[in-house]
Chain A
Amino acid sequence: MSAKTNALLCGARDTVPMLIGATPFGVIFGTLAVASGLSLPATLLMSALVFAGSAQFIAVSLIASGAGLVVLLLTTFIVNLRHALYSASLMSHVSHLSQRWKIPLAFWLTDESFAVVQRHYLDPQIPLESKHWYYLGSCLAMYSNWFLCTLVGALLGNALPGMAGWGLDFAMVATFTGIVVPLLRTRPMLLAAVVAGLVALVAYDLPWKLGLMLAALCGVSAGVLAERWSAAASVREVGNESV
Chain B
Amino acid sequence: MSQFEAVLLLGMGVITFAIRYTLFAVGHRVRFSPLVQQALGYVPVAVLTAIIVPAVVMPDGNSLQLTLDNAYLVGGVVAVLIAAFSRNLLLTIFGSILVFFLWRWWLAG
Listed in ascending order, the chain A residues whose CB lies under 8 Å from chain B are 16-18, 20-21, 24, 38-39, 41-42, 45-46, 49-52, 54-56, 58-59, 69, 72-73, 76-88, 90-92, 94-95, 99, 102-103, 105-107, 109, 111, 115, 167, 169-184, 188-189, 192-193, 195-201, 204, 211-212, 215-221, 223-224, 227
Contacts and interface: CB of A to CB of B under 8 A. Distances in A.
Given A69-B4, A107-B17, 6 more contacts: A42-B5, A73-B8, A85-B40, A88-B40, A102-B24, A177-B96
Secondary structure dominating the interface of A: helix
A87 B24 contact: yes
B41 interface: yes
Interface in B71-109: 71-72, 75-76, 79-80, 83-84, 87, 89-90, 92-94, 96-97, 100-101, 104
A90 to B, nearest CB: 8
A162 to B, nearest CB: 14
Contact of B46 (A16, A49, A216): A216
Contacts of A76: 11-12, 15-16
Interface of B: 1-2, 4-13, 15-17, 19-25, 27-28, 32, 35, 37-58, 61, 64, 71-72, 75-76, 79-80, 83-84, 87, 89-90, 92-94, 96-97, 100-101, 104
Contact of B49 (A39, A78, A197): A197
Contacts of A179: 44, 48, 89
Contacts of B52: 173, 176-177, 180, 197
Contact of A224 (B6, B11, B39): B39
Tell me which of A88, A181, A197 has the highest count of chain B C-beta atoms within 10 A of its own C-beta.
A181
Contacts of B48: 54, 82, 111, 176, 179-180
A218 to B, nearest CB: 8
A200 B16 CA distance: 23
Contacts of B53: 196-198, 200-201
A105 B17 CA distance: 10
A50 B16 CA distance: 7
**Top 7 A-B pairs, shortest CB-CB distance:** A219-B46, A181-B83, A17-B90, A197-B53, A178-B92, A215-B50, A223-B42
Secondary structure dominating the interface of B: helix
A86 B58 CA distance: 29
Contact of A105 (B24, B56, B71): B24
B23 A91 contact: yes
A20 B93 CA distance: 8
Given A17-B90, A69-B7, A177-B83, A219 B50 contact: yes
Contact of B9 (A45, A54, A84): A45
A4 B65 CA distance: 50
Contacts of A90: 24
A102 B71 CA distance: 42
Given A45-B9, A201-B58, A181 B84 contact: yes
Nearest to B89: A178
Contacts of A181: 79-80, 83-84, 87, 92
B75 A170 contact: yes
A21 to B, nearest CB: 4
B89 A77 contact: no
